[in-house]
Amino acid sequence: MNVSGLFARFAVLAALAAIVGGCAGPQKMVHEQRRFFWPPLPERPRIEWVKSYYSQLDFPKTGMRQFMAGIAGDEEPISFMKPLDIKSNGKGKIYVSDAGVQGVFVYDLAKSDVHMLGKENSSGLFKQVIGVAVDSADNVYVSDAEKNLVLAFTADEKPLRTIELGPHVLKGGGLTIDNQRSRLYVADTKGHRIVAFGLDGKHLFSFGQRGDADASFNYPIDVDVNSKGDIIVADSMNARVQIFDSEGKFLRKFGRRGDGLGDFQIIKAVAVDSDDNIYVTDGKGHKVEIFSAGGDYLLSVGGLYSVHATGKEAPGGFLIPQGIDIDNNDAIYVVDQLNRRFQVFQYLSDRFLKANPIPGVELK
């Protein structure tokens, strides 16, 4: 993804185009034929909106669900209350932590099913859920700030291990996995540092302290890694993103506080696509901002929009976006907290468009 004047110029127009479109209610999705792109056609689009999810009512009734609905009536939907973080295994399972229910929703797209992680044992399993991560074996990791630990589960959602974070972490926030190095990174929001563990729970190293100098943090809230193993940190209250090598050595930073294109108000999370572009959710700005690997501003997606106040879908509209994840297929998942949903987008890389061409879009 290259920086261009047109790319930035169409950012605001694209956000507005997305917000005014769509007319489906939040209780049950009704798909329209219209497609939503950023920037809009006829420009070369980079992002496409795919779908929003609110509850299991977004899935068609098939098989046993349809049979039981005919006998007992429609089931009570399992809905979000205060969703925070999100991760996908890239194979049809999506995990969403929710501070309102103190649990983790599991969306199994292949089975059109929604349930809570831990199922029958989910009640009381967590005290203060924050971050979620998934490794290459599809094991799931969930940080609990009150218990100050990370609970790990197998791909079939059985307990795997407990990783005690103390005394290395004061309050665990966002999580990410470096599969190449078998590491778990934890954003220690209260301790103003990033802490690295092995996937077996062994503490490896930490870096950072409170401050606004390079390699210092002011409430780091989330962390991700790129294809090189560089560590991308959402330095929330410093209104910037900092980048470190795989051993915690400072490389560069970008961002400033403001409400203009490429500025941040309150950073909530970061994610990286297959081209190492960096995506940042701005909760107060109600948008996702996209930057090159070097920190150059590329594009904004979003804008303030309340689904519940209007009763309309508004693809790409947000009311406090929180967690964000990009899977190995370049599908983008964004928690839209106060709209009580998550939205799915697609990064339209050259590789993706060669396999999935869009009429009227030519690759150069």
- CA-to-CA separations, 274 to 30, 182, 269, 332, 364, in angstroms, rounded: 31, 19, 17, 11, 19
- pLDDT tens, position by position, 15-48: 433 443 443 334 444 445 689 999 999 999 999 9
* DSSP state letters, 28-45: S----S---EESPTTS--
Q: Specify the pairing of strand 321-326 against strand 220-225.
A: unpaired
pTM: 0.89
CA–CA separation, 326 vs 134, rounded Å?
Answer: 12
Q: What is the mean pLDDT of the chain?
A: 89
Cis peptide before 357 (omega within 30 of 0): no
The token duo for 175 is: 């999580």
Residue 114: half-sphere exposure toward Cβ, Cα within 13 Å: 19
> 3-class SS at 71?
helix
Q: What is the CATH number of domain 5-30+53-345?
A: 2.120.10.30
- pLDDT tens, position by position, 245-259: 999 999 999 999 999
- pLDDT tens, position by position, 226-282: 999 999 999 999 999 999 999 999 999 999 999 999 999 999 999 999 999 999 999
CA–CA separation, 160 vs 167, rounded Å?
Answer: 22
